[in-house]
């Protein structure tokens, strides 16, 4: 396996960063998770726009242009002979001194890792998953906007821990006002009476690339598809619930906090959207 590091490809064993890297010391950096299907990198430009926006927001100067980064991603796939892959782009502030000051870091580390990955086993896409809501909150009023995909994922990790302790694969975060925000690394959609809802970004949800693709697909199919603020109650009484994310793709949720959703099986609209998403990703992308 070859990993891109600052302009060259190195083996996994040699892909190492300094313990003085502020990404390691402070979670100072940004990242993206991207997927390639059938050799097509899905929505690469959208991911790069989000990465560069995140970097700009934390005043991290990217050492490569977007066009160069795009080529680096494609080259990483080629070098590893991968046509279906999960791609992780990491840009850390780079090595500096032990103080917080990012201006002591002279050169960011730019890393691209590509490997095959399946987040959930295949059966779960057929059966759907159970989730719980957790105590960790998505803080809308953080100075750091939830739109920034930073290396500070501790809150999301706590969500994953709470899910694991509850014996379920994923969990749902509410925001500081108790409105439903998102999962640990995925967005949520609910459906009632054929109307599809997903929380708007301002409640504290990342504007997921998969989420945006599903919104487009749903609207194209003529469904009522709106961004709306909703509570746990609305999730419990929905006919269908599903999560979206680059790693999770589209996965049905059949139980939330012990309440069965709809028939207790993945819903019809969810399955239809999942199928359309799968059809889209194999053809829509950058080679």
The closest of 269, 147, 268, 277 to 197, measured between CA atoms, is 269
Q: For residues 105 and 159, which CB has a smaller minimum distance to ligand PLP in the complex?
A: 159
Q: Whole-number minimum distance, CB 232 to ligand PLP, in Å?
A: 18
Q: For residues 245 and 285, which CB has a smaller minimum distance to ligand PLP in the complex?
A: 245
Q: For residues 40 and 246, which CB has a smaller minimum distance to ligand PLP in the complex?
A: 246
Q: Within 10 Å of residue 228's Cβ, how many Cβ atoms?
A: 14
Tokens of 238: 């929905």
- Residue at shortest CB range from ligand PLP: 208
DSSP output for 109-164? EEEEEEE---SS-HHHHHH-EEEEEEEEEE-TT-SS-TTS-BS--HHHHHHHHHHH
Q: Whole-number minimum distance, CB 213 to ligand PLP, in Å?
A: 8
Q: Whole-number minimum distance, CB 174 to ligand PLP, in Å?
A: 14
- Find how far residue 9's CA is from the centre of its chain: 25
The Cα-based distances of 154 to 43, 133, 136, 159, 219 in angstroms read 27, 17, 10, 9, 34
List residues bridging with 7 in a β-sheet. Answer: none
Q: Whole-number minimum distance, CB 206 to ligand PLP, in Å?
A: 4
Q: Whole-number minimum distance, CB 147 to ligand PLP, in Å?
A: 10
Tokens of 40: 């097509």
Q: Which residues are at the interface with ligand PLP (CB under 6 A)? A: 33, 156, 182, 185-187, 206, 208-211, 244-246
Distance (Å, whole) CA 103 – CA 113: 26
Give the residue numbers marked as catalytic: 149
Q: For residues 180 and 209, which CB has a smaller minimum distance to ligand PLP in the complex?
A: 209
Distance (Å, whole) CA 62 – CA 46: 16
Q: Whole-number minimum distance, CB 96 to ligand PLP, in Å?
A: 26
Q: CB of 58 within 8 A of CB of 150?
A: yes
Distance (Å, whole) CA 220 – CA 206: 22
Q: For residues 169 and 245, which CB has a smaller minimum distance to ligand PLP in the complex?
A: 245
Q: Is 224 helix (H, G, I), strand (E, B) or coil?
A: strand
Q: For residues 77 and 248, which CB has a smaller minimum distance to ligand PLP in the complex?
A: 248
């Amino acid at each position: 396996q070859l990993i891109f590091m600052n302009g060259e490809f190195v083996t996994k064993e040699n892909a190492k960063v300094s313990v003085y890297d502020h990404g390691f010391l402070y979670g100072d950096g940004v990242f993206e998770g991207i997927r390639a299907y059938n050799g097509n990198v899905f929505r690469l430009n959208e991911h790069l726009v989000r990465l560069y926006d995140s970097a700009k927001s934390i005043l991290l100067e990217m050492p490569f242009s977007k066009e160069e980064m795009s080529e680096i991603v494609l080259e990483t796939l080629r070098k590893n002979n991968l046509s279906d892959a999960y791609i992780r782009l990491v840009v850390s502030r780079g090595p500096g001194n032990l103080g917080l000051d990012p201006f002591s870091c002279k050169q960011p580390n730019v890393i691209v890792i590509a490997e095959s990955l399946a987040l959930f086993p295949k059966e779960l896409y057929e059966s759907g998953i159970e989730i719980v809501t957790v105590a960790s909150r998505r803080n809308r009023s953080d100075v750091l906007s939830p739109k920034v995909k930073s290396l500070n994922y501790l809150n999301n990790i706590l969500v994953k821990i709470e899910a694991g302790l509850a014996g379920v694969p994923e969990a749902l975060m509410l925001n500081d006002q108790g409105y439903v925000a998102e999962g640990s690394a995925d967005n949520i959609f609910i459906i009632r009476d054929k109307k599809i809802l997903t929380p708007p970004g301002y409640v504290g949800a990342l504007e997921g690339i998969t989420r945006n693709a599903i919104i487009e697909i749903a609207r194209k199919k003529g469904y009522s598809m709106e961004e709306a603020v909703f509570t746990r109650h609305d999730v419990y009484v929905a006919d269908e619930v599903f999560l979206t994310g680059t790693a999770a793709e589209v996965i049905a949720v059949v139980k939330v906090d012990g309440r069965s959703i709809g028939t207790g099986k993945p819903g019809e609209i969810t399955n239809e959207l999942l199928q359309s998403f799968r059809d889209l990703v194999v053809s829509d992308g950058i080679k």
